Amino acid sequence: MELLSLLIWLPILGGGLVIFVGNERADTARWLSVAISIIIFVMSLSLYTGFDSTTHLMQFVEKASWISQLNINYHIGVDGISMPLIILTTFSTVLVLIAGWEVIQKRTAHYMAAFLMMEGLIIGVFSSLDAILFYAFWEASLIPMLLIIGIWGGDNRVYAAVKFFLYTFLGSVFMLVSLIYMYNKGGSFSILDMHNLSLTATEQTWIFWAFFMAFAVKVPMFPVHTWLPDAHVQAPTGGSVILAAIMLKMGGYGFFRFSLPITPDASLQFSDVVISLSLIAIVYIGFVALVQRDMKKLIAYSSISHMGFVTLGVFALFLAYRPGSAEGALLGLEGAMVQMISHGFISAAMFLVVGVLYDRLHSREISTYGGVINSMPKFTGFAVLFAMANAGLPGTSGFVGEFMVILGAVQANIWYAVLAATTLIVGAAYTLWMVKRVFWGPITNPAVETLNDINGREFFVLATLALAVLIMGLYPQPVIEVMHASIDHLLNQALTSKL
Amino acid sequence: MMNTFQFDTASLLVALPEIFLLSAIVVVLLLDLFLTKGFKQVTYYLTQASLLITGVLSYSLIGHPETIIFGNSFVLDDMASVFKVFMMGSAMVAMVYSRHYLTQHDLFRGEYFILVLLSILGMMVMVSGYSLLTLYLGLEILSLSLYTLIAIARNRSGAIEAALKYFVLGAIASGLLLYGMSMIYGISGSLNIVDIAAFSSDANLGSRETLIINFGLVFLVIGIAFKLGAVPFHMWVPDVYQGSPTSVTMFISTVPKIAAVAMLVRLLVDGLGSMHAYWSDLFMILALLSIALGSVVALMQTNIKRMLAYSTISHIGFIMLGFVTGVITGYGAAVFYILVYVLMSLAAFGVIILLNKKGFEAEKISDYKGLSKHSPWFALMMLVVMLSMAGVPPFIGFYSKFFILQQVISAGFVTVAVIAVIFAVISAYYYLQIIKSMYFNDAEQEITVTAPIDMKLVLSINATLILVVGLFPDFWMKLALSLF
């Protein structure tokens, strides 16, 4: 097996092995799964080191016949768009498994196994070059998440889990129909062939909206975002982290891989709609986040608002593009990618911060806390750093993506940029206000006084994320560099009419 | 043309599986009379052996050139052989599950197995029947055995009701079918599928003839829809599923469906294929109604057998969609679907039966609460089955739906495909209910699995196949397509 296949199947098989170890031998299961995830992470780094950033062509390609009857192949490969997301996946999984170490006492082996299997499936999503293979991974990744929310979640977990599953399932079946439609037209399920398939305006419209249903639910965009706060609040910390850090990116990735290149004309035609929805998400959902009393809900809404930048950056390209100068459009697209990765770090960190508090006092309510800094100074340091990153402070990764997208949006329409920029204020408001109420001020709840500061394991996880946030914030160049050729190519595809 | 019956060895060889099974039934029947109470297991093992040998005989006939014998009334082709092999395989699995159920509920009697064997003989005749008469005969052998099989639990409340309901409605369906057949016979002058096909595909067919064929066709379709349990001829399905002893429900919901599809193929595809334009419209309506009603009504069920009944109805809808397309690959997709459906349905009922104990039937969805804690392995198996039925990849149920959708869209019915997937999502909700009970709820009572090892083993293989075939569906798809 080649590297990419190993990255997909090793975690899945490893997950099976961990199930076999059993819940009774929890410690073995923990060590084994963390070891597997670290091996996978290290292996995934060779995707980066072996990556040729001068070409937009797929690399690490593997192709084998799978369902010959319908010309479906096991066809995988990565380019500059998917490669960073795969590394983000392997990175986050390691942290999540370590973060769940002693927190998860109920069915530990199954918990660890679910995350490992999900890791493999999500890497499969990001590396599939065959539409049906993509769809299979896309749907299959719902199963572990369904179980994670449903088994290890909070009191209202059943509702949240089922809602999560049905919402995403409903979104994606329309994608399946349009994929089949394109197969019947072009005779191939290869995503790359679909990029070149000529489609009429009507066909593009339908396919665009079918894709939109699938990806917008996943991102999630306003108004189909309602599953996310429920899912996040009920999910265990690890589930929230993976959901926010990786699963939402599957939606953004879909826009990059499917919507823009396959339906460029429809994307152009409906870019206003998408941009409007993105701006609503950025501004309105930002205000919604302001009034939350539940920390996880607040971060969930903040996630929706930040993901609005991704869709904004993607669809602003049509307006930002000037003949002869693609700079604005490129900034938007690359900003969207950077925003996805940065959000992967920051949202993961924010959920872990809430998780640390929740593990101690079993409350997510902001009002339970106050003056946490007095008993947990080290922890507060990290929390404030991540809060600043969430608010988009320059020097953190949160700033880079948002700034690039706003710059791109300026080229498109100054008012888009102005509206999007308000998030820097609203975002700062809801994040810092939460920090103020939770960490500063006098201690109102006597339980807070007895809190223990973070232990070595928590310190390690938060410190790793802090490093990632800072490195991305101060020197994002390596990440932008690897994606540049692919983004450039994507821009060409998006701007070339198929009519 | 005179139909001559030739009873030479060459033509008898073609019907060898049927002949063997019939002889085996006679032997088992007679032997069972002399078995004392302590030796009743012998009947079970003999039944399994007969099924196995019949299956092997059918398997050895795969690849046999298409032969029509007994005066054009019995056909041997790859479809017949492959279907028979599948029927024997699933019947054997069903018998393994049944034995556990029967011993738990004091129903272990020789008659049970003999009736099952008889019904299978009927199904084999249906699969190979190539004249209206043979098809009808096969159907009646099957149906009469099933009526009795349901009533075998005569102390069980609901079983007699189910048997009677099935009998009355089944008789009406048979009557309608027979009426349709008589019309076709009347106008074409022949009972043989070959002659009917030649007659109906005649380019110079007059409008009067077409009208009468269509008139008969409607009744044929209704009769088949009754047998398959398609809406609006589905009323018997939920009651029969719920009222019958679970092992019989499992049997009814699996093997006979293969035979019903075979009969459908013989009558409508082989016989009246040229009339496709007429019957495909009827099928479209039946299919969409089945998918819709099966998906929506199942949402409200609290009894798992009843829920699976509605789930079957919606699966049948998908299968019928395959026939709407009117192309060989579409029929292949439908056949692929029915085989997949049987595999899934067997495993689903297998888990239900697995949890049966003396005086307790795991019939309510709430009976599955906390199963994942007490028996994580079988909860996982049930999870696989439910997700597969919901059409979630990578399980095999996805590929069967996908294949049908692909064919439907290819035939130009994009809207139909969209409607079908919407209902597929709705139906996912009730499959999730079972997963919810098993995984998300805590147990209300202790769940112990008392099943013997052979049942556990077969069930595990059964459910694992759903995943394995899902990962490598190529062979099965090709097989299904090669039958036409």
Distance (Å, rounded) from C-alpha B180 to C-alpha B186?
Answer: 10
Distance (Å, rounded) from C-alpha B169 to C-alpha B166?
Answer: 5
User: Among A209, A309, A305, A325, which Cα is nearest to A262's?
Assistant: A209
User: Among B259, B254, B232, which Cα is nearest to B244's?
Assistant: B254
**For residues B446-455, b (16+ Cβ closer than 10 Å) or e, as one string?**
ebebebeeeb
- pLDDT given at position B3: 52
CB contact (8 A) between residue B414 and residue A157:
no
CB contact (8 A) between residue A165 and residue B478:
no
**Chain B: residues touching A (Cβ < 8 Å):** 372, 376, 387, 392-394, 398-399, 402-403, 405-406, 409-410, 414, 417-418, 421-422, 424-425, 428-429, 432, 435-436, 439-441, 473-474, 477-478, 481
- pLDDT given at position B5: 63
Of all helices (H) and strands (E), which one includes residue A380?
helix A377-391
Please check whether residue A158 touches B, CB under 8 A.
yes
CB contact (8 A) between residue B429 and residue A166:
yes
Residues of chain A found within 8 Å of residue B417, distances taken between Cβ atoms: 177, 180
Of all helices (H) and strands (E), which one includes residue A114?
helix A108-127
Q: Tell me the three state secondary structure of residue A68.
A: helix
Residues of chain A found within 8 Å of residue B474, distances taken between Cβ atoms: 65-69
**Nearest by CB: A150 against B376, B394, B439:** B439
Q: Kindly identify which residue of chain A lies nearest to residue B474, measuring between CA atoms.
A: A67
Distance (Å, rounded) from C-alpha A171 to C-alpha B444?
Answer: 35
CB contact (8 A) between residue A176 and residue B402:
yes
Q: In angstroms, what CA-CA distances link B146 with A204, B113, B210?
A: 52, 12, 36
- pLDDT given at position B4: 60
- Please give the structure tokens belonging to residue A23: 């819940």
**Nearest by CB: A177 against B409, B428, B477:** B409
- pLDDT given at position B440: 87
Report the pLDDT averaged over residues A494-498. 84
Q: Kindly identify which residue of chain A lies nearest to residue B384, measuring between CA atoms.
A: A143
Q: Tell me the three state secondary structure of residue A336.
A: helix
Res. A367 pLDDT band, cuts 50 70 90: confident
Mind telling me how many Å the CA of B271 is from chain A's nearest CA? 27
- pLDDT given at position B1: 42
Distance (Å, rounded) from C-alpha B296 to C-alpha B423?
Answer: 8
Secondary structure (H, E, C), chain B: CCCCCCCCHHHHHHCHHHHHHHHHHHHHHHHHHHCCHHHCHHHHHHHHHHHHHHHHHHHHCCCCCCEEECCCCEEECHHHHHHHHHHHHHHHHHHHHHHHHHHHCCCCCHHHHHHHHHHHHHHHHHHHECEHHHHHHHHHHHHHHHHHHHHCCCCCCCHHHHHHHHHHHHHHHHHHHHHHHHHHHHHHCCCEHHHHHHHHCCCCCCHHHHHHHHHHHHHHHHHHHHHHCCCCCCCHHHHHHHHCCHHHHHHHHHHHHHHHHHHHHHHHHHHCHHHHHHHHHHHHHHHHHHHHHHHHHHCCCCEHHHHHHHHHHHHHHHHHHHHHCCCHHHHHHHHHHHHHHHHHHHHHHHHHHHCCECCECCCEHHHHCCHHHHCHHHHHHHHHHHHHHHCCCCCHHHHHHHHHHHHHHHCCCHHHHHHHHHHHHHHHHHHHHHHHHHHHCCCCCCCCCCCCHHHHHHHHHHHHHHHHHHHCCHHHHHHHHHCC
Residues of chain B found within 8 Å of residue A70, distances taken between Cβ atoms: 403, 406, 477
Measure the N-to-C terminal CA separation of chain A; round to a whole number of Å.
Answer: 41
- pLDDT given at position B308: 92
Phi-psi map region of B445: left, alpha, beta (phi>0 left; psi -120 to 50 alpha): beta
Give per-residue pLDDT as tens, A26-63: 888 889 999 999 999 999 999 888 888 888 888 888 99
Contact B416, B291 (CB under 8 A): no
ipTM: 0.91
Residue type, B431: Y
CB contact (8 A) between residue B440 and residue A143:
no
Q: How many CB pairs under 8 A join A and B?
A: 88
Q: Kindly identify which residue of chain B lies nearest to residue A22, measuring between CA atoms.
A: B376
Residues of chain B found within 8 Å of residue A181, distances taken between Cβ atoms: 409, 414
Distance (Å, rounded) from C-alpha A171 to C-alpha B467?
Answer: 24
Contact A332, A408 (CB under 8 A): yes
Please check whether residue A177 touches B, CB under 8 A.
yes
- Please give the structure tokens belonging to residue A287: 């205000």
Distance (Å, rounded) from C-alpha B397 to C-alpha B469?
Answer: 10
H-assigned helices in A323-376:
327-361, 372-375
Angle at A184 between CA A70 and CA B421, to 5 degrees: 85
Please check whether residue A161 touches B, CB under 8 A.
yes
Please check whether residue A180 touches B, CB under 8 A.
yes
Residues of chain B found within 8 Å of residue A173, distances taken between Cβ atoms: 421-422, 424-425
- pLDDT given at position B423: 93
CB atoms within 10 A of CB B182: 14
Which residue in B388, B408, B440 has the most chain A C-beta atoms within 10 A of its own C-beta, making it the best mutation to test that interface?
B440
CB contact (8 A) between residue A166 and residue B398:
no
Residues of chain A found within 8 Å of residue B403, distances taken between Cβ atoms: 70
Residues of chain A found within 8 Å of residue B441, distances taken between Cβ atoms: 158
CB atoms within 10 A of CB B403: 29
Distance (Å, rounded) from C-alpha A399 to C-alpha A402?
Answer: 5
- Please give the structure tokens belonging to residue A448: 């807070």
Q: Kindly identify which residue of chain A lies nearest to residue B403, measuring between CA atoms.
A: A70
- Please give the structure tokens belonging to residue B230: 């398609």
Burial environment of residue B224 by CB neighbours within 10 A (0 to 12, 13 to 18, 19 or more):
buried
Report the pLDDT averaged over residues A108-127. 92
Give per-residue pLDDT as tens, A387-402: 989 988 888 888 898 8
Kindly list the domain boundaries of chain A, sorted by start residue: 277-499
Contact A177, B417 (CB under 8 A): yes
Q: In angstroms, what CA-CA distances link A383 with A140, A315, A379, A481, B476?
A: 34, 33, 6, 30, 55
Asked whether residue A234 carries a pLDDT value surpassing 50, the answer given is yes
Give per-residue pLDDT as tens, A264-280: 999 989 988 999 999 99
- pLDDT given at position A76: 92
Residues of chain B found within 8 Å of residue A151, distances taken between Cβ atoms: 372, 439-440
Cis peptide leading into residue A377 (ω within 30°): no
Residues of chain A found within 8 Å of residue B405, distances taken between Cβ atoms: 176-177, 180
Q: HSE-up of B301 (CA within 13 Å, CB side)? A: 28
**Which residue shows structure tokens 């880079």?**
A400
Phi-psi map region of B106: left, alpha, beta (phi>0 left; psi -120 to 50 alpha): left
Rg of chain B (C-alpha set)? 22
CB contact (8 A) between residue B428 and residue A165:
yes
- Please give the structure tokens belonging to residue A444: 């109102």
Q: Tell me the three state secondary structure of residue A73.
A: strand
Q: DSSP letter string over A170-204?
A: HHHHHHHHHHHHHHHHHS--BHHHHHH----HHHH
Residue B338 φ/ψ, nearest 5 degrees: -65, -40
pLDDT in tens, chain B (484 residues): 445 666 677 778 888 999 999 999 999 999 988 888 778 888 899 999 999 999 999 999 988 888 888 888 888 988 999 999 999 999 999 999 999 888 888 888 888 999 999 999 999 999 999 999 999 999 999 999 999 999 888 887 788 888 999 999 999 999 999 999 999 999 988 899 988 888 888 878 888 888 898 899 999 999 999 989 898 899 899 999 998 989 999 999 999 999 999 999 999 998 888 888 888 899 999 999 999 999 999 988 889 999 999 999 999 999 999 999 988 899 999 999 999 999 999 999 999 998 888 777 888 888 888 888 888 888 899 999 999 999 998 899 999 999 999 999 999 899 999 999 999 999 999 999 999 988 888 877 777 777 888 889 999 999 999 999 888 988 888 888 888 8
Angle at B186 between CA B184 and CA B190, to 5 degrees: 75
Please check whether residue A165 touches B, CB under 8 A.
yes
Mind telling me how many Å the CA of A44 is from chain B's nearest CA? 24
- pLDDT given at position B6: 64
Q: Give Cα B99 to chain centroid, integer Å.
A: 20
Please check whether residue A134 touches B, CB under 8 A.
no
**Nearest by CB: A70 against B387, B406, B422:** B406
Contact B391, B421 (CB under 8 A): no
User: Among B254, B15, B10, which Cα is nearest to B121's?
Assistant: B15
Q: Kindly identify which residue of chain B lies nearest to residue A176, measuring between CA atoms.
A: B402
Distance (Å, rounded) from C-alpha B450 to C-alpha B355?
Answer: 8
Q: What pTM, to 2 d.p., does this model score?
A: 0.93
User: Among A290, A286, A489, which Cα is nearest to A402's?
Assistant: A286
Asked whether residue A190 carries a pLDDT value surpassing 70, the answer given is yes
Residue type, A138: W
User: Among B341, B90, B148, which Cα is nearest to B228's?
Assistant: B341
Asked whether residue A365 carries a pLDDT value surpassing 90, the answer given is no
Number of residues written out for chain B: 484
Cis peptide leading into residue A323 (ω within 30°): no
Number of residues written out for chain A: 499
Residue type, A288: V
Distance (Å, rounded) from C-alpha A238 to C-alpha A119?
Answer: 12
- pLDDT given at position A75: 92
- For all residues of chain A together, what is the average pLDDT? 89
Please check whether residue A156 touches B, CB under 8 A.
no
Distance (Å, rounded) from C-alpha B465 to C-alpha B473?
Answer: 11
List of residues 6+ apart from B356 with CB closer than 8 A:
B100, B101, B104, B105, B246, B362
Contact A356, A369 (CB under 8 A): no
Rg of chain A (C-alpha set)? 21
Measure the N-to-C terminal CA separation of chain B; round to a whole number of Å.
Answer: 27
Distance (Å, rounded) from C-alpha B410 to C-alpha B329?
Answer: 10
